[in-house]
Amino acid sequence: MDDEWEPPLPAGYNDSNRAFLQAFMARGTLTFGVAQKIVAGLILASEGGGDAIDPREVTMDDVSNYIRTAREAVESLDYDIRNTRHQQRDGERVWAFINAHSDPATQMGTMRTAEELAFIKRMLDAMFEDFNTPRMEVMAITEAQALKVSRPPRRQSGVNAPELGDGGGGDGDGGETSAGAVDRGLKHSEVMSLLSSLVAEGWLEKSQEGFYSLSPRSLMELWSWLVATYNDPDSDEDWQHIKFCEACKEIVTYGQRCSEVECTVRLHDICEQAFWRARRDKKCPKCQLPWDGKHFVGERAVTSRSGFQRGRGRRTSKRSDLAEAVAAQQEAADAGEEDDELED
């Protein structure tokens, strides 16, 4: 490399593009509405003042141009800009600035301690393994459930985290004498703060019913990590922890499922309309059972149950307890046939 080396840049790349990139990186994700405001600000800045531009006049083409150029500019640095539709909220499109090589530790982890990272891993395991079984694909957890994994399990070490296991168990602050890499887990108050900040930072979303689930940003960032970690390509089973929408092929953590427990066809609510419009009848494309749209993936797997509904009618404010009770039932029911927890 000589002194004449110049970094490769898209044609016409200028300060507006650089500012767009900075704005994007500070926010992590963009929606069309937010991008409109930024682009309006950029136009104003590049024209050196003048009248403010109404953000609503900024078109999708304008925004797409900025995003495409930004993507071109950072691609060679192993960053990427991806987009997906939100699985709820009318499928609003979300763009995310992401690291091409990604796992929870590098992504959510930059500012987190080792204990927090270990907790996040346990929480993801809970979301995608414990609360994601063939019968109930919740893929979300309540606060109470998150608190349950605030400390590493006794005796048995967490999945693929052998260095975290310790003989002393994780049930107290005293008594552990083994040196160094003992993961004491997090205090409950620390878990609550971490959950809140993961929501504020845009990694988790919290629903009205109190369930935490992965945000579009997380799903984009962790796409390959999730598939590699929770799906087993060598398995004989059809059923895998991470499944994809029959229509858009993206991960489904909130949507509908075939009424046949064994069947692996899943569909986003937001993809449903277009999907059925293109077909003659509303039947599962795989097993031909009628699609009733009442079997769910995501928190509705719990909240649509009669037990949960009844509880709400009583107007106790102990929603999360109830959800947990339901989940506990489910756990008990699944204990017989579920053995992937014993894996490691």
Provide the minimum distance between the beta carbon of 271 and other proteins in the complex, in angstroms, as a whole number: 27
Q: Which is nearer to other proteins, 34 or 325 (CB)?
A: 34
Provide the minimum distance between the beta carbon of 211 and other proteins in the complex, in angstroms, as a whole number: 17
Q: What is the Cα–Cα distance from 332 to 322, expressed in whole angstroms?
A: 15
Q: Which is nearer to other proteins, 186 or 301 (CB)?
A: 186
Provide the minimum distance between the beta carbon of 272 and other proteins in the complex, in angstroms, as a whole number: 32
Q: What is the Cα–Cα distance from 128 to 140, expressed in whole angstroms?
A: 8
Q: Which is nearer to other proteins, 101 or 135 (CB)?
A: 101
Question: How crowded is residue 217: how many other Cβ atoms within 10 Å of its Cβ?
Answer: 24
Rounded to 10°, the helix 188-200/114-125 angle is 80
- In this structure, are residues 294 and 258 in contact, taking their beta carbons and an 8 Å threshold? no
- In this structure, are residues 256 and 272 in contact, taking their beta carbons and an 8 Å threshold? yes
Residues that bind other proteins (CB under 8 A): 1, 3, 5-7, 9, 13, 15-16, 18-23, 25-28, 37-38, 40-42, 44-46, 48-49, 73-74, 76-78, 101-103, 105-106, 109-111, 117, 160-161, 189, 192-193, 196-197, 200-202, 224-225, 228-229
- In this structure, are residues 17 and 69 in contact, taking their beta carbons and an 8 Å threshold? yes
Provide the minimum distance between the beta carbon of 105 and other proteins in the complex, in angstroms, as a whole number: 5
Q: Which is nearer to other proteins, 38 or 252 (CB)?
A: 38
The helix (run of H) or strand (run of E) holding residue 314 is none
Q: Which is nearer to other proteins, 16 or 303 (CB)?
A: 16
Provide the minimum distance between the beta carbon of 126 and other proteins in the complex, in angstroms, as a whole number: 16
Provide the minimum distance between the beta carbon of 23 and other proteins in the complex, in angstroms, as a whole number: 5
3-state DSSP assignment of residue 2: coil
Where in the chain does DSSP place strands (E)?
29-31, 79-85, 93-99, 141-142, 204-206, 211-214, 255-257, 266-267, 296-297
- In this structure, are residues 155 and 118 in contact, taking their beta carbons and an 8 Å threshold? no
Q: Which is nearer to other proteins, 12 or 336 (CB)?
A: 12
